[in-house]
């Protein structure tokens, strides 16, 4: 692909991300705003740039031989992008280790209007949910997703971790909700889905769009979609537009049109059966508005002592002898957090994790 063609693709990707982000209330591509309890917390450009720099972020139409994180347009019907190397091996392994002890037969919303949950015959995997900001690594992954989608973290649902064993699959479905359910839904419509691939798969396990069309850019840079099987009787008869799982990569696709007015029927997708090996993935659904903001702690508990004697008590070892009291009343002296300078968002983020740890794991919401 020539330089002019690559530049045009880059501009198209940026324009689509910016347009979709502007449709999400409270979010822009480089300045994320989350409102909770009549307070506003801004994830400003300085913070975003630090995350981008740490992930070596770039947008490229080709990217062969490149290292770091980069986006490749996969399809324009639906709007879908492969995000290469968004997660490190350590992050993938950490998410799996968190989920593995609690995975069970996957459930889906069986009655959209009532939001009732049931074991799915269409989805034969095993899964579990991780509460938002479950720990520092989960929070970091969520921040990466917010940056790459241009949608605030507050608009995302809890991360779902799925394990697919041999012959397990997820049949054709759409992620957006029907209109009847939207009358009662928190956060309005799902506008985007991001699938994070946590493991390689020996064979099968592709994410297929039966109504989709692979972009010319993707075909040109991948040698006719090298490595993706062109037919699969168990996956709708054919892989119309399929992405092969690769550890550390992600698939981002939009469930709505760029103005978030109409559902995108081209976003119909399926998880093809795993033929050899095990497939681990994580899914985050992004909404038009903040999703159940009361469950999302935007600020940590202030890092302070509530008793003038905390420092002397801590010096005498009370943090270990009497943790029930000291960890709630003497957080500063016990070293559970630190006082942050104004605007130090990374310091505030660590304090938020400390506050979450004191609260303990949250109750998983039904799907």
Q: What are the pLDDT digits (tens) for 345-354?
A: 567 766 776 6
Q: How far apart are CA 165 and CA 162, in angstroms?
A: 10
144 lies in the same domain as 74: yes
Peptide bond into 78 cis (omega under 30): yes
> Quick one: average pLDDT of 351-362?
59
Same-domain status, 51 and 170 = yes
* CB neighbour list of residue 233: distance below 8 Å, 6 or more residues apart: none
Residues 138 and 182 in one domain: yes
Residue 367: its pLDDT value, please? 38
Both 152 and 247 in a single domain? yes
339 belongs to a structural domain? yes
Domain shared by 11 and 131, yes or no: yes
> In this structure, what CATH number is given to the domain that contains residue 225?
2.60.120.620
Instruction: Give dist(CA 349, CA 300) in Å, integer.
Output: 8
Taking CA atoms, 341 is separated from 166, 209, 303, in Å, by 51, 48, 12
* In-domain check, residue 134: yes
- Are 225 and 336 within one domain? no
pLDDT at 265 over 70: yes
**In this structure, is residue 126 part of a structural domain?**
yes
289: in domain: yes
Same domain, 335 and 218: no
Could you give the CA distance from residue 169 to residue 165 in angstroms, rounded to a whole number? 8
Q: Classify residue 52: in a domain, yes or no.
A: yes
Domain assignment present for residue 300? The answer is no
Would you say residue 321 has pLDDT above 60? yes
Residue 196 has which token pair?
Answer: 């994070």
If asked whether residues 109 and 194 sit together in one domain, one would say yes
pLDDT at 105: 63
- For residues 177 and 233, membership in a common domain is answered with yes
In this structure, are 199 and 251 located in the same domain? yes
CA separation for the pair 106, 283 (Å, rounded):
13
Whether residue 100 contacts residue 111, with contact meaning beta carbons closer than 8 Å, is answered with: no
Close Cβ partners of 310 (under 8 Å, ≥ 6 residues apart): 326, 329, 330, 332, 333, 334
CA distances from residue 167 to 71, 203, 254, 276, 339 in whole angstroms, order as listed = 30, 11, 27, 8, 52
**Separation between Cα atoms, residue 258 and residue 13, nearest integer Å:** 12
Clarify whether residues 23 and 62 are in a common domain.
yes
Number of domains comprising the chain: 2
DSSP string, 61-96: S--TT--SEEEEEEEEETEEEEEET-S-HHHHHHHH
C-alpha closest to that of 73 among 229, 253, 210: 253
pLDDT one-digit tens code per residue, 167-193: 898 989 999 887 767 665 555 789 999
The pLDDT value given to residue 203: 92
Both 275 and 347 in one domain: the answer is no
- Structural domain of residue 348, as residue ranges? 310-359
pLDDT at 353: 64
């Amino acid at each position: 692909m020539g330089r002019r063609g690559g530049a045009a693709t880059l501009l198209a990707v940026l324009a689509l991300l910016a347009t979709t982000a502007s449709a999400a209330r409270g979010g822009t591509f480089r300045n994320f705003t989350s409102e909770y309890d009549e307070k506003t917390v801004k994830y400003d450009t300085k913070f975003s740039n630090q995350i981008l720099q740490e992930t070596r972020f770039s947008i490229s139409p080709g990217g062969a031989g490149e290292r770091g994180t980069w986006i490749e347009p996969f399809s324009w019907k639906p709007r879908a992008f492969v995000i290469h190397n968004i997660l490190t091996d350590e992050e993938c392994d950490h998410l799996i280790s968190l989920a593995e002890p609690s995975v069970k037969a996957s459930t889906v919303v069986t009655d959209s209007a009532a939001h009732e949950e049931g074991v799915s015959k269409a989805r034969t995997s095993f899964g579990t949910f991780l509460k938002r900001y479950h720990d520092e690594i989960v929070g970091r992954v969520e921040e990466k997703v917010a940056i790459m989608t241009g949608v605030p973290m507050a608009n995302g649902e809890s991360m779902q971790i799925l394990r697919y064993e041999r012959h397990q699959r997820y049949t054709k479905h759409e992620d957006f909700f029907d209109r009847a359910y939207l009358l009662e839904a928190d956060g309005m419509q799902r506008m985007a889905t991001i699938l994070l691939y946590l493991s390689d798969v020996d064979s099968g396990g592709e994410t297929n769009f039966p109504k989709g069309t692979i972009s010319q850019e993707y075909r040109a840079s991948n040698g006719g979609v090298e490595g993706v099987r062109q037919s699969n009787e168990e996956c709708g008869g054919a892989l119309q537009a399929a992405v092969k799982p690769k550890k550390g990569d992600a698939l981002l696709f939009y469930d709505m049109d760029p103005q978030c007015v109409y559902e995108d029927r081209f976003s119909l997708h399926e998880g093809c059966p795993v033929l050899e090996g095990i497939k681990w993935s994580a899914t985050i659904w992004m909404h038009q508005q903040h999703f159940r903001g009361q469950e999302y702690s935007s600020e940590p508990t202030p890092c302070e002592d509530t008793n003038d004697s905390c420092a002397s008590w801590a010096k005498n070892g009370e943090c270990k002898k009497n943790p029930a009291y000291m960890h709630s009343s003497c957080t500063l002296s016990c070293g559970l957090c630190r006082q942050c300078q104004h605007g130090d968002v990374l310091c505030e983020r660590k304090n938020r994790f400390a506050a979450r740890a004191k609260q303990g794991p949250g109750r998983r919401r039904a799907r």
